[in-house]
Chains A and B, each alone.
Chain A
Amino acid sequence: MIIMGPVEWLFDFWQFLEFYSDSVINATVRHLTLSFGAILAGIFVAVPLGILIANRAKLARVFLSITSIVQTIPTLAFLALVLPLLGVGVLPALVVLFLYSLLPILRNTYTGIRNIDAAYLEAGLGMGMNSRQLLFMVKLPLALPVIIAGIRLSTVYIISWATLSALIGAGGLGDLILTGIQTYDLNFILAGTIPTAVLALLAGSLINRLELSLTPRGLRTQG
């Protein structure tokens, strides 16, 4: 390797990015598709499931332990385990990332609803809300900040873990990192790493803003 000063190096890296801009952009788009596909699927499954188990202690224990166990499987091993079942490509990567996204969203939905002050539920019931009205007028709005916090947590680490899906041929920014490792080219590694980190940060702050705009003024003052 040639030793360069930081200015030369930056210039060199810039030229690299210009040359490979299509690859970086394609990889980023693929990375986003993978991550958000997994997160969206995670939300659609985990939020309703969390609502469902909020009133059922036994079911809650079962689902929360299953998702916790999933969380403990090393990502690398999980991808390898899925390989014989689903082969290579986007689908197995999506499935694995989806399963990883479940726990924080599920747990936060569950706790968010469980922790609602019983007085609100009694007031709602006592005024004649049916269970659907109670859910949409009281439970979900009050649990929303907690649910969104779970979604943010999932999103940030799914974006980061999605780099590993390159190992089973799903593409994404992980592809660039792998290439860099194989060719000892720092430029490739950074071209994969920097956008991943930026994406994770951006997604996190975007969801923070979303949370703030979705939280009614009356709840914000409580801190």
Chain B
Amino acid sequence: MVKFSHVTRKYGNTVAVKDLNLKIAGNEFVVLIGPSGCGKTTTLKMVNRLINPTSGTIEVMGKNIQDLNPVTLRREIGYVIQQVGLFPNMTIAENIGVVPHLLGWDKNKSRKRAAALLTMVGMDPETYMDRYPTELSGGQQQRIGVLRALAADPPLILMDEPFGALDPITRETLQDEFKRLQTELHKTIIFVTHDIDEALKLADRIVIMRAGEVVQDATPEELLRHPADDFVAAFLGKDRLSNQELQVAQVMLENPVKAYPEMGMAEGLALMKRKKVDTVLITDHGGRFLGSVSVDEVNAKHRSFNTLGEIVDQDTPAIEKTAAAKDAFNRINEEKLPYLPVIDEKGLLVGIVTRNNMVNALASVVWGDHNGSS
């Protein structure tokens, strides 16, 4: 689909890209990554001729792009930039329809296409088509930025740090959404980022660059297993967020407040009061997790029952300690749980994940402290 042969780009005496040879196959999702000034963006912009190479040739779909009219070429290649760049004087539908308009589609067809694309990312066309970009959130704007690149259904899409300016949570959402889109659309994508986690998450293939040269060109798996040199290893390690392998065991609180089923009601109440909790987890004498009892339950039923074991809620959800921490967080969020008991593979209670330490763990990921639990 795209082929760089001995491509060099110089600015005066500075070499931005040095003798680059790179082949990108159809339907491949290739991420160019590296520190600032490594030549990744220059490489990307040479594909749609926003930058011309000093020497060497670039072929797109079998044609040397130096022989093509840059304007025609660009209309056949989708382009997404970090600053989004939606035109503030155009509505969302018009923004999505820019390339179709340039290609001479009629207005109806272009609007229909915009509606279909909006639906694809879960934005209601009726609501959004005729709004202006400033009336949308940052995440929504970049969704439109991506849709705009998809509008004329180009086989190749160039993305220059498209999610770089978004907050971490929105970024993650858009990455997931885009990954899902890609599995449906099968585009060839060249994607520039400096975020190694983004690269590992999205790419079929990662090209790490430094000072205008390719240091390693490999699948995410290979890259993690066999980094080519210390630079790559440092790059993988340094900027890596740990949330991908973070397990429940690393974020949970050990020693949750627990009791045996035969504990009396009053004693249970006293225990909760002493430990300042509103729920106790119930285990048998072997440590097996049985369920939970909340302070409300005890208050409501202490006249008719004698022990905690009689009123234990056996349907209390729990999660295994080897599960991804993310799953625990998602369940707490989606099922609106105040906490999630953690069990090991034998069903023994080993800890608890609460909303509170979930926030702590997320904060440590966002601010780069990899210790996880508080």
Contacts and interface: CB of A to CB of B under 8 A. Distances in A.
A126 to B, nearest CB: 4
Contacts of B148: 127
Interface string A118-133: 0110111111111001
A217 B132 contact: yes
Contact of A129 (B50, B71, B81): B71
B173 interface: no
A132 to B, nearest CB: 10
B72 interface: yes
B49 to A, nearest CB: 10
Contacts of A128: 71-76, 99, 102
B172 interface: no
B90 interface: yes
Nearest to B133: A218
A126 B190 CA distance: 14
A1 interface: no
Interface in B59-78: 71-76
11 contacts: A117-B83, A119-B85, A120-B85, A123-B86, A124-B98, A127-B99, A133-B102, A137-B87, A138-B87, A141-B89, A216-B90
A219 B71 CA distance: 27
Contact of B87 (A120, A130, A221): A120
Contacts of B134: 218, 221-222
B104 to A, nearest CB: 12
A50 B89 CA distance: 21
Interface residues of A, number: 23
A142 interface: yes
Max chain A CB contacts within 10 Å: which of B132, B133, B135? Answer: B132
Contacts of B43: none
Given A127-B79, A127-B148, 4 more contacts: A119-B83, A126-B158, A127-B99, A221-B132
A223 to B, nearest CB: 10
A46 B195 CA distance: 47
Contacts of A122: 50, 81, 83, 85
Range class of the B interface residue count: 20 to 34
Given A127-B102, A128-B75, A128-B102, A218 B89 contact: yes
Interface string A96-138: 0000000000000000000001011011111111100100011
A123 B79 contact: yes
B316 interface: no
Interface in B117-153: 132-135, 148
A218 B90 contact: yes
A119 B88 contact: no
Contacts of B87: 120, 123-124, 137-138, 141-142
Nearest to B85: A123
A221 B135 contact: yes
Contacts of A221: 132, 134-135
Interface of A: 117, 119-120, 122-130, 133, 137-138, 141-142, 216-219, 221-222
The interface residues of chain A, by DSSP majority, are classed as: helix
Contacts of B72: 128
B86 to A, nearest CB: 8
A216 B158 CA distance: 30
Given A117-B83, A133-B102, A142-B89, A126 B135 contact: no
Contact of A127 (B75, B83, B89, B90): B75
Given A137-B87, A218-B89, A219-B88, A125 B74 contact: yes
B84 interface: yes
B102 A119 contact: no
Nearest to A216: B89
A181 B148 CA distance: 66
A126 B71 contact: no
B89 A219 contact: yes
Interface string B12-37: 00000000000000000000000000
A115 to B, nearest CB: 13
Contacts of A126: 48, 50, 74, 79, 81, 158
B234 to A, nearest CB: 32
B91 interface: yes
Nearest to A125: B50
Contact of A218 (B74, B76, B99, B132): B132
Given A128-B71, A130-B71, A218-B134, A123 B81 contact: yes
Nearest to A133: B102
A10 B171 CA distance: 71
Contacts of A217: 132
Nearest to A121: B85
A142 B85 contact: no
A21 B196 CA distance: 80
Nearest to B82: A119
Nearest to A140: B89
A129 B48 CA distance: 12
B156 to A, nearest CB: 13
B100 to A, nearest CB: 10
B347 to A, nearest CB: 55
Contact of B84 (A119, A133, A137, A141): A119
A217 B88 CA distance: 9
Nearest to B78: A127
The 10 lowest CB-CB distance pairs between A and B, nearest first, are A218-B132, A123-B85, A128-B75, A128-B74, A119-B83, A126-B79, A119-B85, A141-B89, A216-B89, A218-B88
